[in-house]
Amino acid sequence: MLDKLRSFFDKYLSVEEASKEDTEHALRVAAAVLMIEVMKMDFEIKDEEQEQILALIKQEFELSDDEANALYEVATDKALFATDFHEFTRLLNDHYSLEQKIRLIRLLWKVALADGKVHAYEEHLIRRISDLMHLRHSEYIQAKLAEVHSME
């Protein structure tokens, strides 16, 4: 029975079946959702953080202003209805290299630092995402220190 279910999901709902463009879009959305979740963790959505996310989306994914805004809107909607982070981190784990995962953690730190202070909930969430992406603690700390030092 479980094999039949797994086969069904693999056949009809697998990301591998999606086109390269669809997969790339899904990865961008997943990364943007995680950035938005970090922004929301201190219970304040500040302009600096929103601007930082838009700038990071535009820069990291080489998008125009309109494309970055559209991605931000899609990710905001996804974040609103997300019940956990597993669907996003699983997708990223399946397609991101170690270097890309570390880069994403650095981006999350950039969002957390955008308003000049890091709330404990933001730090906790980034740590949790790092764990879900199977990064070692040392990789998490190196990413954090790289971004904290770049702000000084």
| Count of the separate structural domains present in the chain | 1
pTM: 0.83
* Domain of 128, in residue numbers: 21-151
pLDDT at site 11 = 46
pLDDT at site 148 = 82
pLDDT at site 85 = 87
pLDDT at site 51 = 93
Tell me if 35 is assigned to some domain.
Answer: yes
CATH number of residue 63's parent domain: 1.10.3680.10
Half-sphere exposure of 91 (CA within 13 A, CB side): 21
Q: How many Å apart are CA 51 and CA 34, to the nearest integer? A: 15
Spell out, as residue ranges, where the chain has pLDDT lower than 70. Answer: 1-18, 151-152
Q: What angle do CA 34, 105, 115 make, to 5 degrees?
A: 75
